[in-house]
Amino acid sequence: MCLPRSTPSSRTCIRRIRPKTQAELEWRAHELSLHAAIEKAALAKNSRDKRYSQQRRLNRVALQQTLGVLSEQAGAIGKVRSSDDLFAVVYAAREPIT
């Protein structure tokens, strides 16, 4: 997240990070289907089909298990209207993932 004040680090953030973040948000907004969005989120894939750097430590089995859990909740996920509702659905569906 970029700092709001005008410091060297915030200027660097605005110049280098914001465009990438904006491109990622635009890509997510045009996701073709709910299933595709769930799959990308569960497998921690970005617009270039690569795993997000902060998610690389998670093993593939755990990500596949997450995909299964979230796919089962696709109906409920499709009905949410806020991020709070989405969190509640995902939180209620969670299982121990190895």
Q: Is the pLDDT of residue 35 over 80?
A: yes
pLDDT value of position 46: 78
Residue 71's nearest CA partner among 38, 44, 49 is 38
Residue 38's nearest CA partner among 87, 74, 79, 1 is 74
Overall pTM surpassing 0.75 (yes/no): no
What is the Cα–Cα distance from 29 to 35, expressed in whole angstroms? Answer: 14
What is the Cα–Cα distance from 19 to 60, expressed in whole angstroms? Answer: 29
pLDDT value of position 4: 55
pLDDT digits (tens, 9 = 90+) for 70-90: 999 999 999 999 989 999 999
What is the Cα–Cα distance from 6 to 75, expressed in whole angstroms? Answer: 44
